Structure 1
Amino acid sequence: MNRASAVQILALPGIPMVKAGDDIAALIEAGLVRAGLRLQAGDVLVIAQKIVSKAEGRLIDLASVTPSAEAVKLAEQVQKDPRVIELILSESVRVVRARPNLVITQHRLGFVMANAGVDQSNIASAEEAAQHALLLPRDPDGSAEALRARLSSAAGVAVAVIINDSFGRAWRRGTVGVAIGAAGLPALLDLRGTPDLFGRALQVTVSGFADEIAAAASLVMGQADEAQPVVLVRGLTWRAPDAPASELVRPPAEDLFR
């Protein structure tokens, strides 16, 4: 792999609040026009999970949710709305840990994450958000591929797309951007066998390429009121074949901690 010596990270201006049914690709194309940018081969568009979920109709009215007995019991333990807990359980294959105000689950997509990605921040006004919750896209890799195909076709060049979310880490404080969906690039770069500075072949190094890009984009995307949910990353190069973000999930046979 030839590493880039410089990378541009550019937030697209004027992306509006997204609602169900909105055309994300068209919003991105309009943002590029406003910024005076044209897509180039190898560009990576990093898109916040929230706007993808909203466009795909994943905003749930809590009034429509009936909590199960299991959800009611867990809600008492963690001091959360039992309707939100029901959504968390419905999106999960198992609960890993639970304590007041936090549930760690294994999501149906394989991610081990807080609250199964069920979120009430930055989805609506405070009053509306209290009555709604946002779920992850049903198929983030599929969503990324659909956007990649659409944007590449319109621009006439091959671009990549990453769907970005914020995850905490088991042994470190703070959240970082990670790729939950990816298309048009290798989510992982296997560097095993390549030489280090002294010619010694790397034995175990596999780079989380899509996660590195997602984290870099988060520096300008932000996580509060920045309202910059689409970021263009330009200047990266790679030669490995495309692989989706699902490849980033560690298989159970390799997991030493669960």
Structure 2
Amino acid sequence: MKFTYESYADMIKHLGNMEYQFADYRSWKDSEKSVILRHDVDYSLQKAAEFSGIEREMGVQSTYFVLLSTNFYNVHSLKSKNYIRQIMDNGGKIGLHFDETQYDIHTEEELEKCLYGEAEILSDITGVETGVVSMHRPSEKFLSENRKFGHIINSYGKLYFNEMKYLSDSRRNWRENVDEIIRQGTYWRLHILIHPFWYFAGYERDMKHTLKGAIFNASLQYYDELGDNFSNLGEEVGRDEIEILLKG
């Protein structure tokens, strides 16, 4: 599978042709053959919103896990809230992407307190109770413990791995041929993790060019945000100067 929007749309089409029903973490048992599509939003809510547009056009829904403790975006900013609203308007569900390394956690009680606190904040932003969590880069210890968090579903619970075929493109690498697995139809339950950050419209970029492009765009975005708060920024430093500097 190529890392393009078109290939993702083709994958959705193939899932439908193989009679998989698109489900979430509560409804996947309602159909004889089902697939959970999930997206960890590690870096860009904008890319996630673009992905949700593809799903809306294809008539399917998925779950987007949003980080609260990240330096890449601010869920409290108006821009981020608009992207989250766009995802929801396109039919996407919002879950919590929780990074336990951002806290000084020593006990299970402390972990739950921090997780529930972030879930409540996310609920305030979305207007919907947060019902599912995905751990950001979970430790082997966490994965082995099969933890439960009350009404909040743990997407890394053994149920979603033992009873489903789990596929992931983490670090821009499909460890198994996802297209072939879908085509064969051997597994009646699929759990597919896709990171929108790696995908582009029209053509595929390798990891190096994806990362360089992200750094370039982030620098220009920072310039634009400075311009919103610094009058006459262009008189001091032109945007074209920054572009030339970044291009080397």
Q: TM-score, normalised by structure 2?
A: 0.31
Decide which structure has greater helix share.
2
Decide which structure has greater strand share.
1
Q: TM-score, normalised by structure 1?
A: 0.30
